[in-house]
């Protein structure tokens, strides 16, 4: 993870690039079509830095190591999942990762299942704490 912090002017400049899907102070999200195109160009022998220069990125703003790091990560995803791996943003795609969905977003059946699971967990937690108290009293 880079320690760079983009200024408001740099963010504005980056957002003007059609290959940027989004940008914050700490990160750039690249458009999925750019990722696919970049991987294909790299596989054809074009260096990562040249791909980003052709896409009108200012290497001094994004960082000199960023192109090769991005391409390496995108190629890894491309080999695993093909073009669809590059179209995903990577967040929340792993079934056990990320923040749990809000219970409001669930249908009735999912809400019941989630609440039953939560009740079972809390019952086990209470049993554990009761055993722990009992041990500490002895």
Instruction: Render each residue's pLDDT in the chain as its tens digit; 138 residues.
Output: 557 899 999 999 999 999 999 999 999 999 999 999 999 999 999 999 999 999 999 999 999 999 999 999 999 988 888 888 777 655 545 555 566 666 667 788 888 998 999 999 999 999 999 999 988 887
Is residue 81 located within the same domain as residue 13? yes
Domain that holds residue 119: 103-137
SS3 49: helix
Overall domain count for the chain: 2
Quick check: 86 and 35 in contact, CB under 8 A? yes
Q: Do 52 and 117 fall into the same domain?
A: no
Verify that 108 and 53 share a domain, yes or no.
no
Q: Are residues 63 and 124 in the same domain?
A: no
Within this chain, do residues 110 and 73 fall inside the same structural domain, yes or no?
no
| Residue 31 near residue 21, CB atoms below 8 Å | yes
């Amino acid at each position: 993870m880079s320690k760079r912090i983009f200024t408001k002017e740099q963010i504005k400049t980056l957002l003007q690039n059609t290959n940027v899907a989004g940008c914050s102070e700490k990160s750039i999200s690249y458009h999925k079509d750019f990722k696919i195109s970049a991987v294909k160009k790299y596989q054809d022998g074009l260096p990562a830095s040249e791909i980003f220069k052709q896409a009108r990125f200012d290497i001094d703003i994004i960082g000199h190591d960023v192109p090769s790091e991005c391409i390496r990560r995108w190629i890894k995803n491309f080999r695993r999942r093909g073009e669809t791996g590059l179209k995903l943003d990577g967040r929340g795609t792993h079934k056990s990762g990320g923040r749990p969905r809000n219970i409001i977003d669930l249908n009735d059946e999912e809400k019941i299942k989630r609440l039953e699971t939560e009740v079972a967990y809390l019952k086990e937690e209470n049993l554990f704490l009761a055993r722990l108290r009992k041990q500490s009293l002895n």
